[in-house]
Structure 1
Amino acid sequence: MDYAKQTPYSDPGAHAALVDALPSDIPELVSVVQNLLIHYRGGGVEFTPDHLEEVNNRWVEAILSTDQQRNAAPLATPREPVDRVAGCCRDYALVTTSALRHKGIPARTRVGFASYFGPAFNYDHVVVEYWNGDRWVMLDPQLEPAEHWGFDVQDIPAGKFHSAAEVWRAFRAGEIDDSLYGVDPSLPLRGGWFIRTYVFLQLAHLMGDELLLWDGWGAMADNLEMDLTPTDEIAALLIAADNGDESATAKLRDRYREDPDLHPGNRILVHSPTGTPPAWFDLTTRQPVDGPLPQAG
């Protein structure tokens, strides 16, 4: 995949001129992204229901449309926190990736778990990797550089962030406590089944389907009562691809295209964190659709 090209999710569409004006310098670009977005759980703002619903913006074009309807100003023009678009780590990563691709810089979103938000727990997270001409550099555009992190958040060293595939392999080998991986230690959204769903998300993002973290499709499930061998195989290929194995990348591409359990297709099931009931969504029409929900068990 050519990571210098936009995907349907990262394409700014009608707002390309706004992205033209953004800087290529990484610290400056990240500052603009942080001026545009506010995290729906940690931003310190009391959101109205409509404002909170912005976390379900799937496309960068929709994020920018939401911003312009509210602010109608260049993206670098300062915005008050309450005027920023509600989003999550995925949105910080995708908007940054969009801006880098717009300038011809290869970039991609990375799905996994970060160890640096708190002690003894690994939080689900999405970061950015971009090609600096020599290597892939990992950065966290949600965070402002600060000494208390203990490392450069715009050049994350090994061991601070682990891909979902790496965590899955460690879980299957009995090397980790899976209850320490998830959304939050106070929530049931954690554990082996949760890690497995993120392997699917990691693959989708790698293949240019940078979906929301609460989108579901294919063989995703909230349990592990199934043959886990296919997940093991995908995780192994993802790890090999990350290590530069081109044959693994080609195998992933073929399996993703051919296996409906891996590819989201046209219709996904959305489990929004806003509290609305699960609902089907059509990725082709970009509209919600009616249909029976899967039965539990």
Structure 2
Amino acid sequence: MENVLRFYKEHGPMTEITNMKDMVRDIPKDVATIVIYVQNIFIHQHWSKAYGLELSEERKREPFIRSFGEKLQFLQSVGQGTCPLVPLGPRPNEQKMISICRDFSVAAVALCREAGIPARARCGFANYFEKGKYIDHWVLEYWNEERKKWVMVDAQLDNLQQEHLKIPFDPMNVGEDFFFTGPRAWQMCREGKENPELFGIFDWWGYIYLNCNLILDANSLLKMPMQPWDMWDGYKSLPMEKWHEKDYKLMDELASLALHVDDSLEDLIHFVQQNDKIKVPEDLGKITNSLE
């Protein structure tokens, strides 16, 4: 476990901070405070109206900025990066960067790692956004040294969202009854324990989205948390009607390795890295945006 924790304490390409170190100095080793910092720089695109914002088409493109380092550069470019992320007070909503759930989680992971806390972003489905359905979502998972276990945190759920959704749990400790990682959701449906058509978001439901989040979570466990609209050659873009049973079985194996990542990290890394249809391309220029 020591090697696993060391691995998740170190940055990956999506969380590393090179040119903007001044913005993240003195990050406390306290996850609750880190969540406050994240909520002070981001506002969720699909909750914007609840905060009194009407987004222009230009602002709707802000979530396309992929890495946390690039997001810090953006904040600096619009005049919001002249001081550290440590808030002197609440940032006005109109000055926050437009983001999605994945961004809250990746930013929280980045700040946890800056503070020396092992952390990883998890892609999956939450059952607290729409009754009876499992909605596409991301959370932070960090290592709680005192409890000697991984703890899931929903860094997106501020007071407004908690009250609106009537959240029945502490967002600092999201239990497995409320969030289902991509590998777990895939396995549940493959074993007939749940209806795959209940998993998805907007117009996309079923195995097409289960496959999406399984691949995103597996790559995120390898410290490459990509965006839902990121597409590359392979299973991320291969239409499900072209799949054969061997394809499903390959994903079953991927799900099993990801579910047991703490015991099989090296096996998961090898499995993904040896399969070009699963892993994120080394050349990120080969990734396309399915929304454009």
Q: 1:210 aligns with which of 212, 225, 231?
A: 225
2:63 partner SS? helix
Is the Cα contact below 8 Å between 1:128 and 1:139 reproduced in 2?
yes
Q: Distance in 2 between matches of 1:189 and 1:195?
A: 10
TM-score, scaled to structure 2: 0.86
- Which residue pairs with 1:225 in the alignment? 242
1:264-284 CA-to-partner distances (Å, cap 9, x unmatched) read 212212213xxx3xxxxxxxx
Q: Pick closer, same or farther for the CA change 1:43–1:132 going to 2, 3 Å.
A: same
Q: 2:137 aligns with which of 125, 145, 164?
A: 125
- Which residue pairs with 2:83 in the alignment? 73
Q: Distance in 1 between matches of 2:93 and 2:29?
A: 24
1:125-180 CA-to-partner distances (Å, cap 9, x unmatched) read 11011112111111010012657311111011221111111111111122212221
- Which residue pairs with 2:68 in the alignment? 60
Q: 1:176 aligns with which of 186, 194, 197?
A: 194
1:201-226 CA-to-partner distances (Å, cap 9, x unmatched) read 11110001111121122222342431
Q: 2:14 aligns with which of 9, 17, 37?
A: 9
**Identity percentage over the alignment?**
26
Alignment of 1:185-264 (within 5 A): 187-217=202-232, 218-220=234-236, 221-227=238-244, 228-241=248-261, 244=262, 246=263, 248-264=264-280
Q: Distance in 2 between matches of 1:135 and 1:224?
A: 40
Is the Cα contact below 8 Å between 1:194 and 1:222 reproduced in 2?
no
- Which residue pairs with 1:280 in the alignment? none
Displacement of 1:43: 1.9
1:202-252 CA-to-partner distances (Å, cap 9, x unmatched) read 1110001111121122222342431211111111211222xx4x2x32221
TM-score, scaled to structure 1: 0.85
Is the Cα contact below 8 Å between 1:164 and 1:202 reproduced in 2?
yes
Q: Aligned-residue CA RMSD in angstroms?
A: 1.6
Is the Cα contact below 8 Å between 1:107 and 1:131 reproduced in 2?
yes
Is the Cα contact below 8 Å between 1:137 and 1:156 reproduced in 2?
yes
Q: Which structure is higher in helix share?
A: 2
Residue 129 of structure 2 aligns with an amino acid whose one-letter code is: F
1:167 aligns with 2:182: no
- Which residue pairs with 1:281 in the alignment? none
Runs of 4+ in 1 over 6 A off after TM superposition: none
- Stretches of structure 1 that go unaligned for 5 or more consecutive residues are 277-297
Aligned residues: 266
Q: Distance in 1 between matches of 2:24 and 2:84?
A: 9
Displacement of 1:17: 1.8
- Which residue pairs with 2:154 in the alignment? 140
Residue 287 of structure 2 aligns with an amino acid whose one-letter code is: I
Residue 152 of structure 2 aligns with an amino acid whose one-letter code is: M
Q: Distance in 2 between matches of 1:198 and 1:158?
A: 17
Residue 39 of structure 2 aligns with an amino acid whose one-letter code is: Q
**Higher-RCO chain (CA-CA 8 Å, sequence separation at least 6):** 2
- Stretches of structure 2 that go unaligned for 5 or more consecutive residues are none
